[in-house]
Amino acid sequence: MLRASDQEVFDAIRYLDCTPDISDTTQPEVAIAIEGSRDHYWITEDGALIGEVGTAKAVVEALHVHLFRRSIEERPQTALLHAACLRRGDRRLLVVGSKGAGKTTLALRLIAAGYDIEGDEHVFIEDSIVIARPRGCRVKAAALPLLGEMTKVVAQAPSYTDEKLGTIFNVDPRMLGGTWRIDRGRADAVIVLQPNHGGLSSIRSLPPMAVVQSLMPEAGLRETGRGAAIAAIAAMVGRAKGFQLLLGDHPGALRCIESALVA
């Protein structure tokens, strides 16, 4: 729960809004408060000081880092994978790709096509089970022209402007008509993206070993317990079907993913 006494900060931290339904209620709720005004803010968590910054933007940056660290610390035995996590009926798929591969844009297209998103950036993997890290869909302004009918809705979402990345919108998937519920469960398909921007989309099966090799650069492993984390990734992949999606046109990509899920 976030609380702010200053209107400028209140408006700024809307960029961090994140209120999915989460089935895993083992994580305790904490209260984060931002007190102060203008050029000095104190950030506390359950009454304990965790940061002091000078601007509303710095509050957002400090909280962004703090919340990410917190989510990692709350799950010490897990691997963290850079992947979007979506469901189609009772099938769960992970979409893995490096930065700039088009993962979030594709995820939004999937939402518009009726998929339910759980998370667009990270999933935790423990044993063979995955759970998405709660976070709104972050869409760069540069991607707006690719979103068609969703552009207007996305452009109204809370935003943050980064010097290097430009403006980024924090999109609650429900703004696009989808549901937003995060459950723990098995991945049925792992789709590894290979960018083919401007070209056509195609898909092929990928054997488990190749899937793991593709995932490892996108996996965050802690200093300790790496063997267990790799075991979790291997177990998850071993139970899922793997695919490589050459990501070009979005209509083609959606057809490819649909065919992969029924395979």
**Residue 235 is a binding residue for other proteins (CB under 8 A):** yes
**Residue 204 is a binding residue for other proteins (CB under 8 A):** no
Query: Smaller CB distance to other proteins: residue 195 or 208?
Result: 208
**Residue 190 is a binding residue for other proteins (CB under 8 A):** no
Distance CA 30, CA 248 (A): 42
**Residue 216 is a binding residue for other proteins (CB under 8 A):** yes
Per CB under 8 A, the segment of 17-25, 38-46, 173-181, 206-214 that binds other proteins is 206-214
CB of 237 to other proteins, least distance (A): 6
Residue with tokens 């339904």: 21
**Residue 238 is a binding residue for other proteins (CB under 8 A):** yes
Distance CA 61, CA 49 (A): 16
* Residue selected from 205, 209, 220, 251 as contacting other proteins according to rule CB under 8 A: 209
**Residue 246 is a binding residue for other proteins (CB under 8 A):** no
Question: Two tokens at 247?
Answer: 């990501």
Query: Smaller CB distance to other proteins: residue 177 or 238?
Result: 238
* CA 149 distance to own-chain centroid: 22
**Taking the C-alpha atoms of 54, 56, 61 and 62 in order, what is their torsion angle to the nearest 10 degrees?**
50
Question: Two tokens at 235?
Answer: 């177990």
3-state secondary structure of 240: coil
**Residue 208 is a binding residue for other proteins (CB under 8 A):** yes
Residue with tokens 């993962």: 103
Residues 6+ apart with CB under 8 A from 250: 105, 106, 109, 146, 201
**Residue 9 is a binding residue for other proteins (CB under 8 A):** no
CB of 226 to other proteins, least distance (A): 6
The footprint of other proteins (CB under 8 A) covers: 207-209, 212-213, 216, 226-228, 230-231, 234-235, 237-238
